[in-house]
């Protein structure tokens, strides 16, 4: 049994069989073959070993002049392993004894070797672990090649164990069968975390070595509350976690009772709770969980999920479906937030050196006008069918905002000429998610109908902490005084200009931070739909006086640690009474 600590980013417990996706995205399922096929599997193994050996030998011949002695040593080690009779015998024996497929046997044996190597104190040997994975990948490429498995066609519940999950991978998930997620990389607001929370799947990220410790077919436990990942748990541990999982489900049922109760503080302040969605079907979940509508529709998923560039009609149909599922609820459609980790990098001939500071979000749209126009047309057309708002992401200056608004105005004129209906008064808002926008919020507020505070990016850019980098995840703190002061400032600018302001970053779904947000004056929160009941419970357990006192105290602190300690102790007593 191995227990690894990471960051719990989506609550709940999953006890399940693992599928492991390595960096090259091979999924190696535990699969047996009929006895008559064993010889064929052993033959496939021999062929793969032969092909892999030939490949490395050819590399040595053709590339030797370009390699220094270190690289030559690495490939000599690879050849050594590929030719090692004991290792080859172990894999073949496993196929014969257990009737496994060649790829599964390769994966099991090589991961066993890697596990063994990683535990030896001899650094020369422990450093060979990455070579073993390289060899595994090379063999799998020969064995699976074009027959690569994917996560779209699962037939049984699994925990997905991966280095990291790209937005494209998660968009294509067969969500029904994914019971848990464990990744080496990531932080609280990384894409994997957001999707896991939206889908209500327990997840732990920043595990560093989840893919090294778990092999396909292993039983694993993902504990999204305590940030723990257990590989091959013993019977006692499974029992303990099963108890915990049962208690979690019971707690969820209790929370479900709040669904139809209003989100009102003890002293009568109404709080609007909305859902963040990536896919139209989630709009319904937002309502089922007690939300009043959609506060953030991340439309870039239309791009990540598709095999072609979405047309105006694709956009329109997605918005209409969302509106249909919502009934009368409100919906804020964010124009595509592509770039950085989403979609555009993989299409670039030379990826940007610093994509989070690069051509992303509104910047990308303003440089790709046909794409932007298609989306704005679709939003405007949908706007006559419900309470629709437009939201521009990552606006950092007034010129960008004016340009985007000018484009909307032009498109309205085109629609007018074409006799196509739209809501002329459609509210236009911006995400405030950079210090630049926060510090100039007074000016921006005068030219928009509403603000939406994107704390995920606001924290990343304020604290200079990459939100998807597990190595600096401990520095990513919503309670940092700079973050709290910026939020306060944004709220005050919105209040002065008498415009609405919502918080739609993950901070709005963290029970500890919600009282502080309320205390800062924020009364509309948009969050992952499965988190709505828990946050409603917090809202119903506090008074505004309490929240204001907490916010005032937090703003007076000079470290986030003081804020965290304060809210932890207060929350215990607040929720105890709630």
- Binding residues (CB under 6 A) for ligand PEP: these are 194, 296, 298, 337, 433, 454-457, 504-505
Per the CB < 8 A criterion, the answer to whether 386 and 331 are in contact is yes
Question: Toward ligand PEP, which CB reaches closer, 184 or 192?
Answer: 192
Place of tokens 């090692």: 84
CA dihedral (321, 324, 327, 330) in degrees, to 10, reads 30
Residue 169 partner contact from ligand PEP, Mg ion, none using kind-dependent CB cut-offs of 5 to 8 Å:
none
Residue 41 partner contact from ligand PEP, Mg ion, none using kind-dependent CB cut-offs of 5 to 8 Å:
none
Residue 298 partner contact from Mg ion, ligand PEP, none using kind-dependent CB cut-offs of 5 to 8 Å:
ligand PEP
Site string for Mg ion, 427-446 (x = CB under 5 A): ------x-------------
**Least distance from ligand PEP to the Cβ atom of residue 108, Å:** 38
Q: Which residues contact 567 (CB under 8 A, 6 or more apart)?
A: 479, 512, 513, 515, 516, 550, 554
The single residue of 78, 315, 480, 504 carrying the catalytic annotation is: 504
Q: 229 to each of 120, 150, 185, 537, how far by Cα in Å?
A: 22, 23, 13, 28
Question: Toward Mg ion, which CB reaches closer, 184 or 434?
Answer: 434
**Least distance from ligand PEP to the Cβ atom of residue 203, Å:** 15
Residue 505 partner contact from Mg ion, ligand PEP, none using kind-dependent CB cut-offs of 5 to 8 Å:
ligand PEP
Residue 428 parent element (H or E): strand 428-432
Site string for Mg ion, 381-420 (x = CB under 5 A): ----------------------------------------
Residue 455 partner contact from Mg ion, ligand PEP, none using kind-dependent CB cut-offs of 5 to 8 Å:
ligand PEP
Question: Toward ligand PEP, which CB reaches closer, 149 or 457?
Answer: 457
Among this protein's residues, is 191 annotated catalytic? yes
The single residue of 191, 315, 365, 547 carrying the catalytic annotation is: 191
Q: Is 268 left (phi over 0), alpha (psi -120 to 50) or beta?
A: left
Q: Which residues contact 499 (CB under 8 A, 6 or more apart)?
A: 429, 445, 448, 449, 450, 451
Question: Toward Mg ion, which CB reaches closer, 338 or 571?
Answer: 338
**Residue list 311-350, contact with Mg ion (CB under 5 A):** none
Residue 504 partner contact from ligand PEP, Mg ion, none using kind-dependent CB cut-offs of 5 to 8 Å:
ligand PEP
Length of the chain: 578
**Least distance from Mg ion to the Cβ atom of residue 522, Å:** 17
Residue 215 partner contact from Mg ion, ligand PEP, none using kind-dependent CB cut-offs of 5 to 8 Å:
none
Residue of 106, 150, 115, 127 lying closest to 232 (CA atoms): 115
**Residue list 136-155, contact with Mg ion (CB under 5 A):** none
Ranges assigned E (strand) in 299-427: 330-334, 387-392
Residue of 466, 429, 507, 428 lying closest to 206 (CA atoms): 466
Q: Which residues contact 289 (CB under 8 A, 6 or more apart)?
A: 259, 275, 529, 530, 532, 533
Residue of 476, 403, 450, 168 lying closest to 305 (CA atoms): 168
Question: Toward ligand PEP, which CB reaches closer, 193 or 499?
Answer: 193
Using CB under 5 A, which of the segments 90-98, 224-232, 369-377, 426-434 binds Mg ion? 426-434
Residue of 444, 479, 441 lying closest to 462 (CA atoms): 479
Residue 278 partner contact from Mg ion, ligand PEP, none using kind-dependent CB cut-offs of 5 to 8 Å:
none
Question: Toward ligand PEP, which CB reaches closer, 454 or 521?
Answer: 454
Question: Toward ligand PEP, which CB reaches closer, 438 or 504?
Answer: 504
> What does DSSP say about strands 293-298 and 330-334: parallel, antiparallel, or unpaired?
parallel
**Least distance from ligand PEP to the Cβ atom of residue 188, Å:** 11
Residue 164 partner contact from ligand PEP, Mg ion, none using kind-dependent CB cut-offs of 5 to 8 Å:
none
Cα(321)–Cα(333) distance, integer angstroms: 13
Question: Toward Mg ion, which CB reaches closer, 295 or 454?
Answer: 454
SS3 of residue 332 by DSSP: strand
Question: Toward ligand PEP, which CB reaches closer, 383 or 452?
Answer: 452
Per the CB < 8 A criterion, the answer to whether 532 and 275 are in contact is yes
Cα(391)–Cα(400) distance, integer angstroms: 13
Tokens describing residue 217: 């077919």
Among this protein's residues, is 504 annotated catalytic? yes
**Least distance from ligand PEP to the Cβ atom of residue 337, Å:** 5
> What does DSSP say about strands 2-5 and 228-231: parallel, antiparallel, or unpaired?
antiparallel
What is the CA 284 to chain-centroid distance, rounded? 20
Question: Toward Mg ion, which CB reaches closer, 433 or 506?
Answer: 433
The verdict on 218 binding Mg ion (CB under 5 A) reads no
Per the CB < 8 A criterion, the answer to whether 430 and 395 are in contact is yes
According to DSSP, the residues that pair with 264 across neighbouring strands are 270
Residue 523 partner contact from ligand PEP, Mg ion, none using kind-dependent CB cut-offs of 5 to 8 Å:
none
**Residue list 71-90, contact with Mg ion (CB under 5 A):** none
**Least distance from Mg ion to the Cβ atom of residue 457, Å:** 4
Per the CB < 8 A criterion, the answer to whether 570 and 535 are in contact is no
Q: State the burial class of residue 474 (Cβ atoms within 10 Å of its Cβ: 0-12, 13-18, 19+).
A: exposed
The 3-class secondary structure across 207-260, one letter per residue, is CCCHHHHCCCCCEEEEECCCCEEEECCCHHHHHHHHHHHHHHHHHHHHHHCCCC
**Least distance from Mg ion to the Cβ atom of residue 456, Å:** 5
Site string for Mg ion, 444-473 (x = CB under 5 A): ----------x--x----------------
**Least distance from ligand PEP to the Cβ atom of residue 430, Å:** 12
Using CB under 5 A, which of the segments 83-91, 204-212, 425-433, 509-517 binds Mg ion? 425-433
Q: Which residues contact 531 (CB under 8 A, 6 or more apart)?
A: 197, 509
**Least distance from Mg ion to the Cβ atom of residue 313, Å:** 27
**Least distance from ligand PEP to the Cβ atom of residue 514, Å:** 15
SS3 of residue 267 by DSSP: coil
Active-site residues, by number, are 191, 504
Which residues would be at the binding site for Mg ion (CB under 5 A)? 433, 454, 457
């Amino acid at each position: 049994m191995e227990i690894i600590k990471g960051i719990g980013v989506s609550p709940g417990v999953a006890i399940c069989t693992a599928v492991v996706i390595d960096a090259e995205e091979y999924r190696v399922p535990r699969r047996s073959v009929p006895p008559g096929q064993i010889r064929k599997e052993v033959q496939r193994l021999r062929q793969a070993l032969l092909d892999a050996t030939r490949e490395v030998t050819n590399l040595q011949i053709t590339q030797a002049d370009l390699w220094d002695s270190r690289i030559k040593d690495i490939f000599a080690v690879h050849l050594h392993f590929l030719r090692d009779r004991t290792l080859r015998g172990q894999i073949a024996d496993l196929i014969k004894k257990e009737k496994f497929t060649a790829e599964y046997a390769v994966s099991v044996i090589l991961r066993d070797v890697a596990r063994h190597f990683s535990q030896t104190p001899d650094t020369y040997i422990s450093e060979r672990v990455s070579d073993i994975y390289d060899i595994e990948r090379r063999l799998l490429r020969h064995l699976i090649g074009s027959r690569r498995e994917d996560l779209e066609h699962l037939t049984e519940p699994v925990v997905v164990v991966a280095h990291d999950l790209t937005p494209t991978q998660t968009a294509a998930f067969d969500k029904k069968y994914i019971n848990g997620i464990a990744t080496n990389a990531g932080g609280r607001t990384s894409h994997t975390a957001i999707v896991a929370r939206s889908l209500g799947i327990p997840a732990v990220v920043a595990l560093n070595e989840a893919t090294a410790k778990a092999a396909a077919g292993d039983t694993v436990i993902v504990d999204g509350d305590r940030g723990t990942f257990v590989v091959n748990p013993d019977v006692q541990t499974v029992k303990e976690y099963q108890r915990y999982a049962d208690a979690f489900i019971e707690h969820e049922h209790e929370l479900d009772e709040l669904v139809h109760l209003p989100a009102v503080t003890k002293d009568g302040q109404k709080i609007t709770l909305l859902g963040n969605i990536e896919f139209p079907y989630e709009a319904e979940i937002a309502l089922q969980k007690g939300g009043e509508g959609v506060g953030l529709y991340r439309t870039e998923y239309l791009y990540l999920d598709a095999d072609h560039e979405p047309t105006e009609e694709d956009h329109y149909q997605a918005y209409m479906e969302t509106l249909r599922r919502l009934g009368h609820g409100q919906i804020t459609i964010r124009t595509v937030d592509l770039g950085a980790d989403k979609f555009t990098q993989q299409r670039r001939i030379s990826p940007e050196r610093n994509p989070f500071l690069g051509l992303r979000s509104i910047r990308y749209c303003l440089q790709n006008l046909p794409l932007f126009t298609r989306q704005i047309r679709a939003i405007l057309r949908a706007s006559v069918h419900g309470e629709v708002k437009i939201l521009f992401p990552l606006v950092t200056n007034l010129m960008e905002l004016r340009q985007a608004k000018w484009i909307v105005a032009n498109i309205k004129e085109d629609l007018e000429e074409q006799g196509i209906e739209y809501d002329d008064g459609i509210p236009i808002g911006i995400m405030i998610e950079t210090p630049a926008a926060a510090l100039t919020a007074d000016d921006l507020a005068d030219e928009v109908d509403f603000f939406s505070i994107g704390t995920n990016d606001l924290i990343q850019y304020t604290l200079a902490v990459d939100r998807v980098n597990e190595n600096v995840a401990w520095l990513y703190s919503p309670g940092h005084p700079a973050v709290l002061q910026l939020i306060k400032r944004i709220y005050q600018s919105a209040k002065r200009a008498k415009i609405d302001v919502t918080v739609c970053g993950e901070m709005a779904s963290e029970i500890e931070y919600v009282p502080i947000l309320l205390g800062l004056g924020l009364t509309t929160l948009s969050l992952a739909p499965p988190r709505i009941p828990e946050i409603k419970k917090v809202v119903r357990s506090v008074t505004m006086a309490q929240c204001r006192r907490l916010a005032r105290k937090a703003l007076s602190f000079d470290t986030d640690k003081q804020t965290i300690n304060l809210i932890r102790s207060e929350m215990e007593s607040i929720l105890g009474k709630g």
